Amino acid sequence: MKTPLSVKEAIAKNEDSIEAYAKVQSPEHAAICRTLRHEIGNAMPKATVKIWHGSPVWFVDGNPVVGYNVAGKKVKLLFWNGQALEEPLLEALGKFMAAQVQFADASEIDITTLRRWLKKAKSSIWDYKGLWKKE
C-alpha cells in the first residue's frame, strides 16, 4: 500500500495544494474539506486561495476572509470577520473579529446557511493587512 504524500510533498510535486490538503485527511474530513472548498470557491471566485499557516485560506485584496483546518476529530471553518456577521452558530474566537464553526461530518454542513455566511463574509472584509502596517 502506497503511503499518502504530506501536503508539502504534494505541493512539491505540483499537485493542487488545496486538494493535497484534503488528500492527507481521513475520508470523513476530506469530504468536509472538499465540500467547503467547492462552496467557498463558488462564493468567492475572484479570491486568492493558498495554504497559509498550514491550512487553506481565501484572501480578498490581501486580507484573509475564510479558511478551514482539520483539528482533532473536527474540521474548523474560520471567518476572520465572523463576529461581524452576527450569526448565532458562529463561535467567537480570539481577541479580534474571528468566529468559527466545527464539523465532524459533511452531513452537518447546512449549505444554505454556509452560503449566507459566505455572502456576508465577502461583503464585510476586515482589514487585517492594515493591522501590520508600520506608521
What pLDDT score does 134 carry? 43
Provide the whole-model pTM.
0.84
Most confident of 18-22, 93-97, 109-113, 128-132: 109-113
Separation CA 58–CA 79 (nearest Å): 10
Contact 39, 118 (CB under 8 A): yes
Total domain count, the chain:
1
Is 55 inside a domain boundary? yes
* CATH code for position 51: 3.90.1150.200
Is 29 inside a domain boundary? yes
> pLDDT tens, 26-66?
999 999 999 999 999 999 999 999 999 999 999 998 889 99
> pLDDT tens, 61-94?
888 999 999 999 999 999 999 999 999 999 999 8
